Structure 1
Amino acid sequence: MKNSSTTPKTMPSAVIERKPLSESGKSVTETPSKSSFDELYLKKDYKGAAQYLLDNKKQFESGIFHYNLGTVYSKMGDQATARFHLEKAIQDGYINSSSINNLAFVKSQLQVDDLSTSTSLPDQIISTATAIPMSGYFSIALFLVLVFTLMIRFKKIQKKWVMVVVFLLALTPVLFSNFYVKNINYAVTLKEIPLYEGPSKIFAEKGKVRAGSKVVLGQFKDGWFYIEFPISLSGWINKDQLGLY
């Protein structure tokens, strides 16, 4: 099954992130001979821009770092690696129209069968759960607490035991994210990877996992991961060429 989404009209674009200010209020600068990220990006020196980001990772917030790196890799045509970094940017809370558009563009270029395209209900549930950042679950919980507080204030809920149950329900998103979602191990395949029946190349090969596929990982054994989701890709893959979260 192919991804049926249409290609966005706008190509991926990076964020021009200025260097942080020092205590004196002056810009923190790097070695004068090095071009800054925005200069390299605007000159379309994408390889140089990627290297600049990797060399100066500490200058950027995590979400912006992965967003820019994912965008640059997309410009270079490495859509699998681009997807890994854009997914990571969103997971780290960098969620806006640009990050969503760039990820949609990359996914439309990859045309892979994975969590985001599966019609299986379990796959869709896991895909949705991993797409929401931790801050999103916290916001949902705060909204529910506010709603239930207003219900209690206006005496829509009066029994104490009901109040306790309601507040526990309000905390469910946070509990779910901390005790389940946070412990989910998922990855993006950076290259096409053979899928085996067991954790070794001595087992029969079941097929291939295409580059850029998002998978949820289960058991780990001697350098091999078992794919739990999507269900259609259940099997063992080597940890090499995996972008792990």
Structure 2
Amino acid sequence: MENTSTTEVLKSLESLYLKGEFGKALELLIKSKTQFPTAEFHYNMGTVLAKQGDFAAARYNFELAIKNGTFSSAIKNNLEFTKTQLAITDISNSRESWELWLDRSLSVPYEATFSIVLVLLLGLTLLFRFNKIKSKIVYGLVSALLLAIPLCHMGLHKKFDIAINLKDQEIYEGPSSVYDSIGKLDAGAKIILGQIDKDWVMVEYPLKYAGWVKRETLGNL
């Protein structure tokens, strides 16, 4: 049964939302954060922030909702609408197949890959045990290849992080504003991060944003 206080908060949020009092709705959401599952909290945050016109922060929260287990037609449509409003090219809609592959790979937890591979290995072992696969060499090679997939996937997660840039900011040649500016990182852009140097981080992909940016305006996923 749903918690009574949570029900009251939801009713208050709905009332504020219908009245167009999005600032108050946002304050109430943040104040009541502990009463919601993580995914639901970020979905609600994204919805209110989108109504306020803060599409970069809205996208960040929709992406977090998906990462934490909520994926429905509603959140998909809201995320796509938000990306349309941002109207930018980033890692999620790059024309480079390598960048798209990286985005898809890093969006899936490597634990999920391990789980899938374990099921496949179990099936492979049963086939070998009942002589459907007769060669030990074939069994060993296929097993090794399957195990390599989650290990490589885990390596990608260890090497790179994904983030949403929350505000427009300059891109620099090095980890300081004393370096020359080489471009602008658009608010709402989804990027893949690499090396960190104190308050700065290197944008690895997409290549159009490659360079150093301030970490303080990034929302890590």
TM bracket (short chain): 0.7 to 0.9
Cross-structure match for 1:205? 181
Cross-structure match for 1:92? 68
- The answer to whether the 8 A contact 2:17-2:25 is kept is yes
Which residue of 58, 62, 78 corresponds with 2:34? Answer: 58
Cross-structure match for 2:209? 233
Q: Which runs of 5+ in 1 are unaligned?
A: 1-19, 22-26
The percentage of counterpart residues that share the same residue type is: 37
- The answer to whether the 8 A contact 2:165-2:187 is kept is yes
Alignment of 1:144 with 2:133, yes or no, is no
- The answer to whether the 8 A contact 1:93-1:135 is kept is no
Taking a change above 3 Å as real, the CA distance of residues 241 and 119 of structure 1, as seen in their structure-2 partners, is same
Give 3-state SS (helix, strand or coil) of 1:191's partner: coil
In 2, the alpha carbon distance for the partners of 1:141 and 1:46 equals 45
Cross-structure match for 2:88? 112
In 2, the alpha carbon distance for the partners of 1:33 and 1:160 equals 61
TM-score (norm 1): 0.77
Taking a change above 3 Å as real, the CA distance of residues 206 and 97 of structure 1, as seen in their structure-2 partners, is same
- The answer to whether the 8 A contact 1:196-1:204 is kept is yes
Aligned length: 220
Query: How do residues 66-77 of structure 1 correspond to structure 2 at under 5 angstroms?
Result: 66-77=42-53
In 1, the alpha carbon distance for the partners of 2:87 and 2:41 equals 25
In 1, the alpha carbon distance for the partners of 2:208 and 2:19 equals 43
Could you tell me how far 1:188 is from its partner in structure 2?
0.8
What is the CA deviation profile of residues 79-104 of structure 1, one whole-angstrom value per residue up to 9, with x for unaligned ones? Answer: 10011111111122212222222111
In 1, the alpha carbon distance for the partners of 2:131 and 2:120 equals 16
Could you tell me how far 1:162 is from its partner in structure 2?
2.7
In 2, the alpha carbon distance for the partners of 1:232 and 1:66 equals 29
Which is helix-richer, 1 or 2? 2
In 2, the alpha carbon distance for the partners of 1:177 and 1:40 equals 43
- The answer to whether the 8 A contact 1:73-1:82 is kept is yes
In 2, the alpha carbon distance for the partners of 1:162 and 1:59 equals 53
- The answer to whether the 8 A contact 1:141-1:172 is kept is no
- The answer to whether the 8 A contact 2:175-2:197 is kept is yes
Query: How do residues 1-245 of structure 1 correspond to structure 2 at under 5 angstroms?
Result: 21=2, 27-29=3-5, 36-134=12-110, 136-138=112-114, 140-141=116-117, 144-145=120-121, 148=124, 151-152=127-128, 155-181=131-157, 183-245=159-221
Could you tell me how far 1:182 is from its partner in structure 2?
5.3
Give 3-state SS (helix, strand or coil) of 1:212's partner: coil
CA RMSD between the two structures: 2.7
What amino acid maps onto 1:144 in structure 2? L
What amino acid maps onto 1:232 in structure 2? K
Give 3-state SS (helix, strand or coil) of 1:49's partner: helix
Taking a change above 3 Å as real, the CA distance of residues 170 and 192 of structure 1, as seen in their structure-2 partners, is same
Taking a change above 3 Å as real, the CA distance of residues 60 and 145 of structure 1, as seen in their structure-2 partners, is farther
In 2, the alpha carbon distance for the partners of 1:136 and 1:186 equals 17
- The answer to whether the 8 A contact 2:159-2:194 is kept is no
What is the CA deviation profile of residues 59-96 of structure 1, one whole-angstrom value per residue up to 9, with x for unaligned ones? Answer: 22222221221122112111100111111111222122
What amino acid maps onto 1:107 in structure 2? K
- The answer to whether the 8 A contact 1:226-1:236 is kept is yes
Deviates more, 1:132-141 or 1:76-85: 132-141
In 2, the alpha carbon distance for the partners of 1:200 and 1:192 equals 17
In 2, the alpha carbon distance for the partners of 1:138 and 1:70 equals 31
